[in-house]
Amino acid sequence: MDGIETAHERAAFHRMADGTAADWQIIMRQHEPFARALPDRVLSHLRLLGGDFGGFAVDRLTHSLQAATLALRHGRDEEYVVCALLHDIGDTLCPYNHPDVAAAILKPFVSERNHWIVENHGIFQGYYFWHLIGGDRNARDRYRGHAWFDDAAEFCELYDQRAFDPQAETLPLADFEPMLRRVLAART
């Protein structure tokens, strides 16, 4: 079968309990190309962040690009840089728990440490502003003593909270695309 016919194949079951090995072969043939296209979907979603300022001095895409640029310029490895690039990708869909979205995307591809940093960066970033809006800037202290507490605090100090400057160096998304593709191709 050529790719066009394969793309139109469908499993016969209507309930998973009724699936057969042949059904799952059809599904798996289509899953592989779908999974390989993940970087394209992630890049498309990152582009959606452009133009959405949310009141900040730069739009959400620029913020993400600046965080990644800072991490790259500080010599961080590709996995870390991609985490910096994607840390706020969930802002548009989940404004109240955006770190969970980024962490879920990255989990199969990054170290436990980097995953934990992304998953918890929201509460660590709160240190810089929650007290200004009636919150507890020290809420992150509930994680004090965690093996990666200092790593998450450093991520926010060096990259996340510094990436709102319209004049700062901001590499284009195309510069990060090759590393994003490599990281999202390597399952941990």
Position of tokens 């949310």? 54
The domain segmentation of the chain, as residue ranges, is: 3-36, 39-183
Q: What percent of the chain has pLDDT over 70?
A: 96
Tell me if 163 sits within 8 A of 72, measured CB to CB: no
Joined together, the tokens standing for residue 134 give 């009636």
pLDDT of residue 1 exceeding 50, the answer is no
pLDDT of residue 139 exceeding 80, the answer is yes
Residue type, 13: F
Q: Which CATH number fits domain 39-183: 3.40.50.1970, 3.30.360.10, 1.10.3210.10, 2.160.10.10?
A: 1.10.3210.10
CA angle 108, 31, 111 (to 5 degrees): 5
Q: What is the dihedral of CA 38, 42, 45, 46, to 10 degrees?
A: -170
pLDDT of residue 5: 47
DSSP at 139:
G
Report the distance separating Cα 81 and Cα 71, nearest Å: 6
What average pLDDT does the segment 129-133 reach? 98
- The model's confidence at residue 74, banded by pLDDT at 50, 70 and 90, is very high
Largest CA distance in the chain: 61
pLDDT of residue 8: 81
pLDDT of residue 4 exceeding 70, the answer is no
pTM of the full structure: 0.92
Q: E strands within 29-171?
A: none
Report the distance separating Cα 31 and Cα 29, nearest Å: 6
Q: Which of 95-99, 145-149, 183-187 has the lowest mean pLDDT?
A: 183-187
